[in-house]
Amino acid sequence: MLDNNTFTPNFEFHPLNKTIIDVTRILQGQAALQNIKFKVNTPDQELIVQLDQLRLQQVIINLLSNAIKFSNPNDTIKVDVTTDISALTTSGLVIVCIKVSDKGIGISPKDLKNLFKPYFKTTDDLNKTKNKDSHGLGLSICQTIVKSMNGQLDVESELGIGSIFSITLQTSVYDKSSQQKKVSDPILL
Ligand SMILES: Nc1ncnc2c1ncn2[C@@H]1O[C@H](COP(=O)(O)OP(=O)(O)O)[C@@H](O)[C@H]1O
Ligand SMILES: [Mg+2]
C-alpha cells in the first residue's frame, strides 16, 4: 500500500523478460492509434528474478503512457532491458536496468529538476497543451514505488529531442536448489 510516501513491496520470483513484454502489450493498442510502435529489446537469457511484478508493471505503464502522450505520430518508443550478472556468483544478485526512450517533445533542464515532485507539470508551451488534463502525480508515484523496491528511477531528456527514463533494480536470481517460492504466471484478477 502507498502510505506516507512508501509501501511494502510484495517480492516473488517472476521471469523478467515476460514481465516486461506482457506490460508493453497492454499499451500497444493505445500506441497504435497514433501509429506509434514499441521496439522491445530483452536479454537472450530469460532470468527468473525477485520482483514486485504488479508494482513494476504499474511503473512501466506510467512511463509508457507518458512516452506515448509526448511522442509524435509514427514515432518508435524503445524499451531496453539489460542485466548485469557480474556479481551473481558471489552475491546471487543481478542488476536489472529497464529504459523507456522516446523521441518526443522532451523536457527542459529547469523542469527536469522538479519532475518527480508531486503535482509538478512541465511548463513549456508544447508540453502545456498535451498535459492540460494531467495531475502531475504519475512520476512521483513511480519514484516512490521504485525507491521502495530499493531501486532508482532516473531521467535524461533534451527539449525537442526526447526523453529516457531508467529503472535500475538490484535483485535476486531464482536458485533451483533452494526452497525459494517461484510464481511464473500470476493469476490476473
Ligand atoms: N516522456 C515524457 N516526455 C515529455 N514530458 C514528459 C514525459 N513524461 C512526463 N513528462 C512531463 O512530466 C510531467 C509529470 O508527468 P506525470 O507525473 O506522469 O504526470 P501525470 O500523472 O499527470 O501524467 C508532466 O507535466 C509531463 O508533461
Ligand atoms: Mg503520466
Q: At what angle do helices 138-148 and 53-70 cross, to 10 degrees?
A: 150
| Residue 158: pLDDT over 90 | yes
Please give the Cα distance from 129 to 28 (Å, whole number).
Answer: 23
Query: Which residues crowd ion ligand 2, with CB under 5 Å?
Result: 66, 138
Q: How many angstroms does the Cα of residue 44 sit away from the middle of ligand 1?
A: 32
Residue with grid cell 518508443, as numbered in its chain:
77
Pocket-forming residues, ligand 1, beta carbon under 6 Å = 62, 66-67, 70, 102, 104-107, 115, 120-122, 127, 131, 134-139, 163
| CA–CA separation, 188 and 60 (whole Å) | 17
Please state the atom number of ligand 1 nearest to the C-alpha of residue 165. Answer: 1
Q: How confident is the model at residue 1 (pLDDT cuts 50, 70, 90)?
A: very low
Place of cell 513549456: 124
Domains of the chain: 12-171 (3.30.565.10)
Amino acid, res. 157:
S
Instruction: Give pLDDT tens digits for 40-94.
Output: 999 999 999 999 999 999 999 999 999 999 999 999 999 999 999 888 888 889 9
Which protein residue's CA is at the shortest distance from atom 27 of ligand 1? 122
How many CB atoms within 10 Å of residue 109? Answer: 9
pTM metric for this prediction: 0.91
> Across residues 134-154, what is the average pLDDT?
93
Contacts of 7 (CB under 8 A, 6+ apart): 1, 55, 144, 145, 148
End-to-end CA distance of the chain: 17
